[in-house]
Structure formats: C-alpha cells, structure tokens
Amino acid sequence: MNRATFRPHERINRPEDFRRAFDRRRSASDDALIVYGTENGKDHPRLGISVGRKRIRKATDRNRVKRLIREAFRLNKTELPAGVDLVVVPRHGSLTFVQVSRSLPHLARAVAGRLARDRGRPPRDRDRDRPAGATP
C-alpha cells in the first residue's frame, strides 16, 4: 500500500544529484513550473526543489512555494512515473496549491516520456551533440 507520504529517501539533497538532473537537459514546463528529469535507478521517483533568490525575493515566499510543491508531490505520487529524479523550479512566487498539484503530474509524465524515447536510441552524449569547435 503506497500511502501519501514523503520520506527522506524520496528527497534529493546532494548537489551532485541536482547537477546530474540539470545536465541531462530534459525538461518540461508550463506557466507555473519547470521540471527537469533524469533516471535514478530506483523503483520510486525522487523530488528536488530549486528556488533561487533572484526569482523569489522573500524567504517566506520561497518556503511556502517549496511546501506547496512537496505537498503536490506527496498527494499525487501514484500518478508519477517511477525511477525518475524530478527537479522542480517554480517560475514565480504567487502559486496556489491547486495550480501546482494539477501541473506537476502532467509535467512529470511529459519528462518521463522524453526519457523513454531517449532510451530507444543510443544515449545522447553532450560532447557528441556539440563537438568542440562547433559552438554557436
């Protein structure tokens, strides 16, 4: 029975894991959120939240946004794809719970779909995508 909880092992808290998700360069977004994703080799999804001080100025608002995203992750866990690390970046500070809980599963599935398509083909190496000397 998969209850609606949020345990420490479901949380991304190491800088290298965040870096891996950003460097994979697979994301989906809408008006509220940007979601980066990458495979994590586990049987459950993990959540990381990255909120910059530039985008959301006040510490209170940053904390509130993180709580909303965590809550949306927890309550919609059954809707989310397994084995994926999700790094969520909010676009602005005036989000509502309804907005986030509608948006997060949708975007997460979109990212998981892209990752699955990549697995069909050989894994895209960034160095091969942009060979040295071909920088725009």
Give Cα 14 to chain centroid, integer Å. Answer: 14
Q: Are 55 and 14 in contact (CB under 8 A)?
A: no
Which of residues 63 and 92 has its CB atom nearest to RNA in the complex?
63
Q: Which of 97, 18, 85, 73 is nearest to 50 (CA)?
A: 18
Which of residues 80 and 118 has its CB atom nearest to RNA in the complex?
80
Phi, psi of 28 (to 5 degrees): -140, 150
Which of residues 14 and 117 has its CB atom nearest to RNA in the complex?
14
Min separation Cβ 13 and RNA, Å: 4
Q: Are 90 and 20 in contact (CB under 8 A)?
A: no
Min separation Cβ 71 and RNA, Å: 5
Residue 63 is which amino acid? N
Min separation Cβ 53 and RNA, Å: 9
Dihedral (Cα; 53, 80, 117, 9), 10-degree rounding: 70
How do strand 27-29 and strand 33-39 relate by DSSP bridges? antiparallel
Which of residues 29 and 50 has its CB atom nearest to RNA in the complex?
50
Min separation Cβ 40 and RNA, Å: 14
Contacts with RNA by CB under 7 A lie at: 3-9, 11-16, 18-19, 48-50, 58-60, 63-64, 66-68, 71, 74-75, 96-97
